[in-house]
Structure 1
Amino acid sequence: MTSATHASPRIVERPAQPYIAVRARVTMATVDTIAHRIPEVLGRVAALGAKPAGPPFLKYNLIDMARQLEIEAGVPVIDAVAVDGDLINGTLPAGRYASYLHTGSPSTLVQANALLLDWAADRGLAWDMTPTEAGDRWACRLESYRTDPREQPDTAQWETALEFKLAD
Structure 2
Amino acid sequence: MPQIVELPERPYLGIRKTITMTSFGLVGDRIAEMIGWLAERGHTTAGAPFFRYHSIDLPQDRLVVEAGVPVTGPVEGEGEFHAGTLPAGRFVTESHHGHPDQLSGVIESVLTWAAEQGLTWDMTEKDGTEHWGCRLELYRTDPRVEPDLHNWDIDLQFRLA
User: Which string of whole-angstrom CA distances, capped at 9 and with x for unpartnered residues, describes residues 53-74 of structure 1?
Assistant: 1110000011111231110001
TM-score, normalised relative to structure 1: 0.89
Give 3-state SS (helix, strand or coil) of 2:24's partner: helix
Q: Which amino acid aligns with 2:3?
A: R
1:159 shift after superposition? 0.3
1:119 maps onto 2:113 in alignment: yes
Identical pairs, percent: 44
User: Which string of whole-angstrom CA distances, capped at 9 and with x for unpartnered residues, describes residues 35-55 of structure 1?
Assistant: 222112211222232211111
Q: Quick one: distance in 2 between partners of 1:135 and 1:41?
A: 29
What stretches of structure 1 move > 6 A for 4+ residues in a row? none
* Matched length: 160
Match of 2:94 among 78, 94, 100: 100
Q: Which runs of 5+ in 2 are unaligned?
A: none
TM-score, normalised relative to structure 2: 0.93
User: Which string of whole-angstrom CA distances, capped at 9 and with x for unpartnered residues, describes residues 118-156 of structure 1?
Assistant: 111111111001113472111100000001122123322
Show the counterpart of 1:4: none
1:96 shift after superposition? 0.4
Q: 1:150 to 1:64 in 2, by over 3 A?
A: same
User: RMSD in angstroms over aligned alpha carbons?
Assistant: 1.4
Contact 2:12 2:75 (8 Å CA) reproduced: no
User: Which string of whole-angstrom CA distances, capped at 9 and with x for unpartnered residues, describes residues 18-47 of structure 1?
Assistant: 111000000122223322221122112222
Aligned ranges 1:5-44 → 2 under 5 Å: 8-44=1-37
Q: Which runs of 5+ in 1 are unaligned?
A: 1-7
Match of 2:138 among 130, 144, 153: 144
Contact 1:50 1:80 (8 Å CA) reproduced: no
